Amino acid sequence: MGATGPSTGGFTLPGEAGHEDYTLAMAERWGADVIRDSDGTSLSREILDSGLGIYSTLCLVREDNEWATAHPDKLQQNFLMTTPVTADSDEVTIDLLAGYSRDQFVVDDRDGLELWQVFDRTTGVEVRPERWELVEGGRVTVHGAEAWHTYTVNFLVTRIWEEISMYNHVTNGWGDREHLRAVEPRDPEVREHLLAWLEQWCVDHPDTTVVRFTSLFYNFAWFWGDDPQLPHVYADWGSYDFTVNPVALREFRATTGLTITSEDFVNAGRYTSTHNPPSGVYRAWMAFVQDFVLDLGRQCVEIVHRHGKQAYVFYDDSWIGLEPFSGRFAEYGFDGLIKAVFSGYEARLCAAADVPTHELRLHPYLFPIDLEGRPTFAPGGDPTSDARACWTTVRRALLRAPIDRIGLGGYLSLTEPFEDFQDYVAQVAAEHRLIRALHAEGAPHASPVRVGVVTAWGALRTWSTSGHLHENPDLLLTHVLESLAGLPLRVTFHSLAAVAADGVPGDIDVLVNAGDAGSAWSGGDAWAEPALVSAVTAFVARGGGLVGLGQPSATAFSTRFFQLADVLGVDQDTGDRIRVMARTFDVAPTHPVLDHGADVAGLAPRPGVFVTRSDVTVLAAHGTNPLATAARFGDGRAVYLTGHRHGPTAARRLENAILWAAGTDRGGWWAQDPRADVAAFPASGRLVVVSAADEPITTTVHGGTPRTVTVAPGGMVTLAM
């Protein structure tokens, strides 16, 4: 293989009827072998007859809007909690939908009123059903209320406008298009209709080579509001809130013998956020939903295969219940998984899934404005810069794990005035083909160090927290994952409950625990389990490594806040001690973890963090607060960092921390300048050096014979090893 790789293939182009000449010209220019439709576009006969593969996008639960409109009792439902209202007398009336979008939700009291719950949130006690009533106008009146106590209602709603349809309307100004509705597949009549509709659709679309399911049946939770200052009340990409309806709740009880209530979903307004440690009954509900989605999804895939087509699934939008890391994903029989990506860890998520073909949909999406409401293909937009930011971010992860295909989505015609964007996409396609070809010849070199990320979720949230990085810009573990995504380390994901039960897996060298106290990522009350603390403590004492970031192992229990304080050598006073004296320390002038000296970017002070013993090495500090520490414990080592925000220096610091905790030195191939990532492909005899910097960089590449390499802004260089 040469240094340029193949010139065509592995690229999916969004086509657009009415722009046939431009569509086919871009297919040739970008080396596309597949053309797809998108929300709001269609493919004409000229495009279908182009000889290229054809992806057709389907979201089954919202495809037949005429049928959905004719069957309003078959739409999807969920629980909402009202905005808290304070009683000023012994009676209080609550407007159920106050603050929520009445375009999205309607109160549903047709069935399941016994599932509603009213709470005195001041006492935390549920109000007995005989003390409240549903009154005219979508309101609930509570009788015998306590004055100056706050009350809420958990109530059922039907969603009359599907969330992604709402987003597309707002983003693209689709004021004249119908509002799509999502039907509930647990209803036997809906299920029968969906399967029959898909069967006929396959007959009617002989040109389609791949049915691209826009996920399957249930969207992540996204509550829209009616307040301009709060247009979105709640959103969480991993939440199962939209899987709830009376039929499912009753079936769950009959199947499992467990009772799950509205409050198990509402959770005092926190809902089933992925950021919160899951309860046992909620995990059981998730498994129950996953079984259903797998059963019906597998039937859909079988229909597609019976018609001689392939079935791909898009891991975004209505992905809830799909769960690529449930251990059963291969049972669907999907031929490919497509992931929308902004970040490297999302590429690693896609690459890690058990499916034959892995594809990324890059950004920007070909819409006038982006997900943040900023212009892209509109006045004031700079789509080439957006594309470069996405690709250079994702590319470093692609050096570590192979991706088979990349592509775009949206309105291709929007790109026609942007010649520089067209040129850049051609460059991206060529770079991807080269990287893909290198992977095909043999895996890249990786450090022997094996890293285990431990959270409450474990492997179920492999290379994921909740959503995209820009939606959770301050979430510590997401930044950690983004740094890990491009490092030459072997990374796996493990649950704290499994570690408590079975100990640290024998193939792990270093554990990473990162997040805020109480979160699913740090672990919350899981750390009150003595078996977990003992297992990790023993692991480090016997020679293992630990890297803790933020508030690792934190919960208010026993004599410590960080339950691994003895191992880490640091703890945190959250205000319940107000210590008069703090142990003094000196900051070490140098240490392998901080190979850039005083650069402490992303290490924000955490008030109350203190050193617990004299043999802890403080690597950086803010006044009396340590920012980074290193400690030995028994035969092992531990590093503590107050935080982490992904960037070249921070990623290098995290890698240093892991290597030091593992008791090993840096090996393989690496660049002196942390802004450059290096991947070695021994089977091909090639080195790939990439940079996301906005300026040229010149650096020494170590490994074998050191050499000096200059990389253009956002560029990629290939060298002989």
594: left (phi over 0), alpha (psi -120 to 50) or beta: beta
Q: For this structure, is 317 an active site residue?
A: yes
Angstrom distance (rounded) from CA 590 to CA 569: 19
Single-letter residue type at 164 = I
Taken as a whole, the chain contains a residue count of: 721
3-state SS record for 320-380:
ECCCCCCCCHHHHCCCEEEEECCCHHHHHHHHHCCCCEEEEECCCCECCECCCCCECCCCC
Single-letter residue type at 622 = H
Spatial neighbors of 479 by CB under 8 A, at least 6 apart, are: 469, 602, 644, 645, 646, 650
453: tokens are 């990320």
Angstrom distance (rounded) from CA 78 to CA 96: 14
Name the E strands within 428-544.
450-455, 490-495, 510-515
Q: Which residue has the tokens 């009340």?
A: 233
Angstrom distance (rounded) from CA 536 to CA 684: 40
DSSP letters for 65-110: HHHHHH-GGGB-EEEEEPPPEE-SSSEEEEETTTTB-TTTEEE--S
No. of H helices and E strands in the chain? 17, 36
Q: CB–CB of 273/107 below 8 Å?
A: no
Which among 38, 5, 1 has a CA at the least distance from the CA of 398?
A: 5
Q: Are strands 697-702 and 707-711 parallel, antiparallel or unpaired?
A: antiparallel
Q: CB–CB of 441/15 below 8 Å?
A: no
303: tokens are 């229909």
Q: CB–CB of 511/546 below 8 Å?
A: yes
3-state SS record for 209-267:
CEEEEEEEEECCEEEEEEECCEEEEEEECCCCHHHCCHHHHHHHHHHHCCCCCHHHHHH
Angstrom distance (rounded) from CA 240 to CA 243: 6
Please confirm whether the linkage preceding 364 is cis (ω < 30° from 0).
Answer: yes
Spatial neighbors of 283 by CB under 8 A, at least 6 apart, are: none
Angstrom distance (rounded) from CA 58 to CA 339: 15
Angstrom distance (rounded) from CA 42 to CA 334: 24
Q: CB–CB of 265/272 below 8 Å?
A: yes
Choose, from 39, 317, 335, 386, the residue flagged as catalytic: 317
Angstrom distance (rounded) from CA 394 to CA 399: 9
Q: CB–CB of 5/437 below 8 Å?
A: yes
Residue 514's SS3 state is strand
Q: Are strands 560-562 and 554-557 parallel, antiparallel or unpaired?
A: antiparallel
Angstrom distance (rounded) from CA 260 to CA 246: 11
Q: Are strands 545-550 and 625-633 parallel, antiparallel or unpaired?
A: unpaired
> Which residues are known catalytic residues?
317
